[in-house]
Amino acid sequence: MAMLEAIEKRRAYRALDTKPIDEEVLLRLAEAAHSAPSSMNSQPWRLVTVTDETVLGQLKEALTPGNYWAKKAPALVAVVTNNSWGMTLGERNYAPFELGMATMAYQLQAVQEGLYVHPIAGFNAELAKNVLGIAEEDSIMVLMVVGYPGDSSHLSKKHLESENGKRDRLPLEKVHAFNHFDNQLKPEGK
CA distances from 60 to 71, 140, 180 (A): 6, 14, 45
Q: Identify whether 171 is part of a domain.
A: no
Nearest to 118 by CA among 80, 61, 67, 169: 67
| Rounded Cα distance, 52 and 132, in Å | 12
Q: Identify whether 180 is part of a domain.
A: no
Q: Identify whether 168 is part of a domain.
A: no
Q: What is the DSSP letter of 154?
A: T
Q: Identify whether 159 is part of a domain.
A: no
**What CATH number corresponds to the domain at position 57?**
3.40.109.10
Instruction: Give helix then strand counts, H and E, for the chain.
Output: 6, 6
- Taking only the tens place, the pLDDT of each residue in 139-149 is 999 999 999 99
Please tell me the total count of domains within the chain: 1
| Rounded Cα distance, 63 and 65, in Å | 7
- Taking only the tens place, the pLDDT of each residue in 32-71 is 999 999 999 999 999 999 999 999 999 999 999 999 999 9
With contact defined as beta carbons under 8 Å apart, do 120 and 131 qualify?
A: no
Residue type (1 letter), 28: R
9 — pLDDT class (breaks 50, 70, 90): confident
Give the domain extent around 56. 3-153
Q: Identify whether 167 is part of a domain.
A: no
What is the CB neighbour count within 10 angstroms for residue 47?
Answer: 18
Burial 73-89 (b: 16+ CB within 10 A, else e): bbbbbbbbbeeebbbee
Residue 52: partners with Cβ closer than 8 Å, 6 or more residues away: none
Whether the per-residue pLDDT at 98 is higher than 80: the answer is: yes
Q: Identify whether 88 is part of a domain.
A: yes
Whether the per-residue pLDDT at 113 is higher than 80: the answer is: yes
Q: Identify whether 186 is part of a domain.
A: no
Q: How many residues does the chain have?
A: 190
Over residues 147-157, the mean pLDDT reads: 86
β-pairing, 92-93 with 88-89? antiparallel
Nearest to 32 by CA among 127, 97, 111: 111
Task: Report helix, strand or coil for 38.
Answer: coil
With contact defined as beta carbons under 8 Å apart, do 83 and 77 qualify?
A: no
Nearest to 83 by CA among 143, 141, 144: 141
Q: Identify whether 166 is part of a domain.
A: no
